[in-house]
Amino acid sequence: MIDFVELRRGMVDGQVRTNDVTDHRIVGAMLDIPREKFVPPALKSLAYIDDDLLIRPAAGMTPARYLMEPMILARLVQLADVDEKDHVLDIGAGTGYGAALLSRLAQQVVALEEEADLAAAANTALSGLGVDNVAVMQGPLAAGWAAEADYDLILIEGAVEVIPDHLFGQLKEGGRLVAVIGSGGAGQASLFTKIAGKPSERVAFNAAVPPLPGFKAAPRFVF
């Protein structure tokens, strides 16, 4: 029988603590939350590996989706500096693991997912763990979720080429947006803060994570 508690402890000690994640709230949440509940049944034994984990294969024009590498997710959440009173939008929630982590840190989380099967899986996993401060919504990721705006924090769980202006419009003044900008091995984790109605960017660290659909930059013509 697989000892998931021991695997969880190994993930935190070997991947998270050793990569500058010092927020005890994040460490505690990752020790408590059973990550294996958020992966397909056939992959439960791989739930704690130091890599992105496939949760939905590509189908037609729909790209594959992944559960983000634990260390990168932890560092992004730490960069976001989540407050216990924060109203958070989690974009690209997948099966809900990131939303479960945020639920331990924030007051309320809106978990946005555009694929119906992933949204259903997130609802099932979160409900099974008794999480009652996360609302899973289904819709296009790049659109955000204006119905519950304004947000103190928006976390984008995947690499994007560009951030649509309307997402900054869903932030409160002084609100933060955390995302990995770029693709392949050239992504950079950035913290945007809305100041006087405009985003101010701070690049924090390099990060290679799978892309999310819907965030490609518009083609540019070169003469």
Instruction: Identify the structural domains of the chain with CATH numbers, from first to last.
Output: 4-206 (3.40.50.150)
For residue 173, is pLDDT > 90? yes
The answer to whether 119 and 91 are in contact (CB under 8 A) is no
Q: What is the pTM of this model?
A: 0.95
Phi, psi values for residue 112, rounded to 5°:
-100, 125
Report in angstroms the alpha-carbon separations of 164 from 17, 61, 119, 218: 33, 22, 22, 11
CA gap 132, 172 in Å, rounded: 24
Mean pLDDT over all residues of the chain? 95
pLDDT band at 186 (very low <50, low <70, confident <90, very high): confident
Report in angstroms the alpha-carbon separations of 104 from 4, 155, 173: 20, 15, 24
What stretches of the chain show up as alpha helix (H) in DSSP? 4-11, 24-32, 70-80, 97-103, 116-128, 165-169
Q: What is the pLDDT of residues 58-112, one digit of tens each?
A: 988 888 999 999 999 999 999 999 999 999 999 999 999 999 999 999 999 999 9
Q: Which residue has the tokens 């984008």?
A: 156
The answer to whether 120 and 49 are in contact (CB under 8 A) is no
Q: At what angle do helices 24-32 and 70-80 cross, to 10 degrees?
A: 140
Q: What is the pLDDT of residues 137-146, one digit of tens each?
A: 999 999 999 9
